[in-house]
Amino acid sequence: MGSSWYVARTEPRAEFIATKELERDGYDVFLPLIAETAPRPGRTESPLFPGYLFVRCNPEAEQWPTFRSAHRVTGWVRFGNEVPSIPDSNMVELKESLDRINQQGGILRRFATGEVVQVDAGHFQGLGEVLAVGKSPQARANVILQFMGRLVRVQVPWESLRPAEDRPKEIPRLPRRTRGKGRWVGSFRPIPGVTA
């Protein structure tokens, strides 16, 4: 059996250092990086899988690689006593998907509170306004949008949000129909037999 890909765990926020040190020692390493649409100083990309990277090796022919402290690797991802390998076909698919995502600007797009976005999350679709900013890309976004003639607050995954093209300055608001307790505003009256 030839070389295969395996997943190694790194120390927290040490993926870049681990990759550099492992490559310096001759290891074949793949660190999936994704473009940040709101880059930090000195960083335009972030690890797709924080705390993990892929190492290609042949443990049957060469034994398992031994990691030095400079490698900043804490060990292999294991299931019980087994260190599973990743098929080459899955790695090719991962790299192609990563290229596609990066060509579209990355998925770690940060939206600011009050920003108008296009929502596409199953039943919830249309223009929405971000109400709260999540602390991580895994958190769900709090968005307000029009749904069945009403403004509703929903939580959707960040990947369901896109920048709104030619967006209005704000979400159009429906006029108030009542003052509360069933008292109608102005001349607005429902048409008998028709529900909004």
Distances (CA, A) of 5 to 29, 50, 59, 95: 9, 18, 11, 13
Give the per-residue pLDDT at 118: 80
- Dihedral of CA atoms 35, 38, 44, 47 in degrees, nearest 10, equals -50
Cβ-proximal residues to 146 (8 Å cutoff; 6+ apart), any chain: 126, 127, 152, 171, 172, 174
Give the per-residue pLDDT at 131: 82
- Torsions phi, psi of 126, nearest 5? 130, -170
Give the per-residue pLDDT at 145: 83
**Ordered mean pLDDT values, 10 residues apiece, the chain (196 residues):** 88 94 94 75 80 92 86 94 92 89 68 81 78 68 78 79 62 59 64 48
The model's pTM: 0.56
- Confirm if 48 and 98 have CB atoms less than 8 A apart: yes
Give the per-residue pLDDT at 194: 44
Domains and CATH numbers, the chain: 4-103 (3.30.70.940), 110-196 (2.30.30)
Q: Which of 111, 112, 126, 103 is nearest to 159 (CA)?
A: 111
- Confirm if 143 and 151 have CB atoms less than 8 A apart: no
Q: Which residues pair with 156 in a beta bridge?
A: 141
Give the per-residue pLDDT at 53: 95
Give the per-residue pLDDT at 83: 92
